[in-house]
Amino acid sequence: MDKDINKDNTILISPVTRIEGHAKITIDLGKDGEVTDARFHVNEFRGFEKFCEGRYFTEMPSITPRICGICPVSHSVSSAKACEMIMGIKPTYTGDLLRRLIHLGQMISSHALSFFHLSSPDFILGWDSDPALRNIVGIAQTSPDLALRGIRLRKFGQEISERITGKKIHIMGIVPGGMGSALTEENRKALLGWIAEATETTLMGIDLIKKYHDQNKEMVNSYANFPTLYLGTVGPQGEMELYDGKLRFIDEDGKILQDQIDPKNYLDYIAERSIDWSYLKYPYYKPYGFGKGFYRVGPLARLNVASKMKTPKAQKEFLNFKAINNGKPVHGTFYFHYTRLIEMLSSIEEAERILKDPKITSEDTLMLGKHNFNEGIGSSEAPRGTLFHHYNTDDSGKLTRVNLLIATGQNNPAMNRSVFEVAKQYVHGKNVKEGALNRVEAAIRCYDPCLSCSTHAIGSMPILIEIKDHLGEIVHVLKRG
Partner 1 sequence: MSLNGDKLQNILVIGIGNPLRCDDGVGAYVAEGIEAKGLSGVTVWIVQQLQVEDLERMLEFKRIILVDASISGPSLDFRPIERTAGQVLASSHHLSAETFMSLALSIYHKDLDMHLCSIKGNCFDVGDKLSPQVQEKAQEAVRLICRSLKGDK
Interaction of residue 144 with partner 1, rule CB under 8 A: yes
Residue 385 CB, nearest approach to partner 1 (Å): 16
Residue 384 CB, nearest approach to partner 1 (Å): 12
Q: Which of 454, 406, 405, 399 is nearest to 83 (CA)?
A: 399
Residue of the chain from 118, 160, 175, 306 that contacts partner 1 (CB under 8 A):
118
Residue of the chain from 45, 50, 54, 141 that contacts partner 1 (CB under 8 A):
141
> Per CB under 8 A, which of residues 63..82 are in contact with partner 1?
69-70
CA 297-211-335 angle, to 5 degrees, is 10
Residue of the chain from 137, 190, 196, 323 that contacts partner 1 (CB under 8 A):
137
Residue by residue, DSSP assigns 153-220 as: HHHHHHHHHHHHHS-SSS---EETTEESS---HHHHHHHHTTHHHHHHHHHHHHHHHHHHHHHTHHHH
Of 160 and 179, nearer to partner 1 (C-beta) is 160
Of 302 and 480, nearer to partner 1 (C-beta) is 480
Return d(Cα 381, Cα 214) in angstroms, integer.
30
Residue by residue, DSSP assigns 85-148 as: HHHT----HHHHHHHHHHHHHHHHHHHHIIIIIIIHHHHHH-TTS-TTTSSHHHHHHH-HHHHH
Interaction of residue 313 with partner 1, rule CB under 8 A: no
Residue of the chain from 135, 187, 216, 221 that contacts partner 1 (CB under 8 A):
135
Q: Crossing angle for the helix pair 144-165 and 185-192, nearest 10 degrees?
A: 160
Check: CB of residue 469 under 8 Å from CB of residue 7.
no
Residue 133 CB, nearest approach to partner 1 (Å): 8
Q: Which stretch binds partner 1 (CB under 8 A): 153-161, 236-244, 280-288, 466-474?
A: 153-161
Of 147 and 257, nearer to partner 1 (C-beta) is 147
Check: CB of residue 92 under 8 Å from CB of residue 367.
yes
Interaction of residue 155 with partner 1, rule CB under 8 A: yes
Of 198 and 231, nearer to partner 1 (C-beta) is 198
Interaction of residue 463 with partner 1, rule CB under 8 A: no
Residue of the chain from 14, 17, 201, 411 that contacts partner 1 (CB under 8 A):
17
Return d(Cα 295, Cα 276) in angstroms, integer.
20
Q: Which of 440, 443, 444 is nearest to 427 (CA)?
A: 440
- To which H or E segment does residue 379 belong? strand 375-382
Residue 18 CB, nearest approach to partner 1 (Å): 5
Residue 162 CB, nearest approach to partner 1 (Å): 10
Residue 348 CB, nearest approach to partner 1 (Å): 16
Of 169 and 203, nearer to partner 1 (C-beta) is 169
Of 456 and 480, nearer to partner 1 (C-beta) is 480
Check: CB of residue 131 under 8 Å from CB of residue 1.
yes
CA 276-226-426 angle, to 5 degrees, is 80
Residue by residue, DSSP assigns 351-364 as: HHHHHT-GGGG-S-
Interaction of residue 132 with partner 1, rule CB under 8 A: yes
Residue of the chain from 46, 75, 154, 371 that contacts partner 1 (CB under 8 A):
154
Interaction of residue 148 with partner 1, rule CB under 8 A: yes
CB count, 10 Å around CB of 113?
Answer: 21
Interaction of residue 147 with partner 1, rule CB under 8 A: yes
Sign of CA dihedral 450, 376, 286, 231: negative
Interaction of residue 152 with partner 1, rule CB under 8 A: yes
Interaction of residue 454 with partner 1, rule CB under 8 A: no
Q: Please, which residues have CB within 8 angstroms of residue 75's CB and are 6 or more apart in sequence?
A: 64, 65, 67, 68, 382, 387, 389, 453
Q: Please, which residues have CB within 8 angstroms of residue 322's CB and are 6 or more apart in sequence?
A: none
Interaction of residue 151 with partner 1, rule CB under 8 A: yes
Q: Which stretch binds partner 1 (CB under 8 A): 16-24, 184-192, 194-202, 321-329?
A: 16-24
Interaction of residue 113 with partner 1, rule CB under 8 A: yes
> Per CB under 8 A, which of residues 18..37 are in contact with partner 1?
18, 20
> Residues in the site for partner 1, rule: CB under 8 A?
17-18, 20, 69-70, 109-110, 113-114, 117-118, 121, 132, 135-138, 140-141, 144, 147-148, 151-152, 154-155, 158, 168-170, 452, 480-481
